[in-house]
Amino acid sequence: MEALLPVLQRHPGMSVLVCALMFRVAHRLLQNLPVPKAVAVDDFRSWKWRNLSVSMVHSLLTGTWAMTCVIISPELATNIHSFYTAPAYMLICISSGYFVQDAGDIILTGHARGSWEFLIHHVLVLWCFLYSLYSHLYVAGAVVALFVEVNSVTLHLRLMLKLASQQSSPLYQINKFLNLFTYIVFRLSAQFYLTYYIVQNYSWMDKGGYFLVTMTLMNTMILIYFYRLLRADFFPRSRAHMEQNGTHNNVKKFLAE
């Protein structure tokens, strides 16, 4: 991996495009897997299932990778500005490739209008990640940001179960509590830690203003979704309200990945 680092650093843009292509190949391969009947009969659900399947692969890979990077090199969690390792840099290349692929999938399949919140999220993430790849700064911060992918695993599973009309299944009931736990521990904590770091070190940080604005927007998004999540899974007000927050609407809501 150390030997590959100079190549990635010389050609970060091309590296991201190669990673995007790899996720597109994964998208194609995952289409060969069987899908639930409730998904197969609806075009939107079928597309969303395929899209979430790739997202699940990304979350499982990058969430585990990010945590492993920090465990092996704890300085990644404290020296967010300038410290990085070869595995950390490669992780950001791979994750950036996923967001490029996912944005392309949303736009090219004609779902941009219904998924505009996802696209805004992807643009914000890509700007930060690409800046890190080209400047070699804040790579550690990007790694910490990818802790949210641990929560994305349970978020994606939640939506896939809703797509399959399995809201009453034991797996859904167990997952909703795991989802709440990981949302707080991995998503909210990671976002707020990065925000705190930026505020504390704003005076000397490169592009501090942009990163602070970006984190503020991201924090707003994840808090809104957290409210929606709690309301839908733990405080449904009525049957009509539950239907309003059902599969077809929820799959179009944004996720902070």
> Cα–Cα distances in Å, from 137 out to 37, 80, 81, 89?
47, 8, 6, 10
* Closest to 143 in 3D by CA, of 200, 64, 210: 64
- What is the structure's pLDDT at 73? 97
Report residue 236 CA to chain centroid gap: 26
pLDDT single digits (tens) 147-190: 999 999 999 999 999 999 999 999 999 999 999 999 999 999 99
Q: Which long-range contacts (CB under 8 A, 24 or more apart) does 237-244 make?
A: none
- What is the structure's pLDDT at 247? 43
- What is the structure's pLDDT at 237? 73
Q: pLDDT tens, position by position, for the chain (257 residues)?
A: 778 888 899 999 999 999 999 999 999 999 999 999 999 999 999 999 999 999 999 999 999 999 999 999 999 999 999 999 999 999 999 999 999 999 999 999 999 988 899 999 999 999 999 999 999 999 999 999 999 999 999 999 999 999 999 999 999 999 999 999 999 999 999 999 999 999 999 989 888 888 999 999 999 999 999 999 999 999 887 654 444 444 444 444 433 33
pLDDT single digits (tens) 51-64: 999 999 999 999 99
- What is the structure's pLDDT at 239? 54
- What is the structure's pLDDT at 253? 43
Burial 150-177 (b: 16+ CB within 10 A, else e): bbbbbbbbbbbbbbbebbeeeebeebbe
Spatial contact of 245 and 232, defined as CB atoms under 8 Å apart: yes
- What is the structure's pLDDT at 256? 32
* Closest to 120 in 3D by CA, of 219, 248, 256, 251: 256
- What is the structure's pLDDT at 3? 81
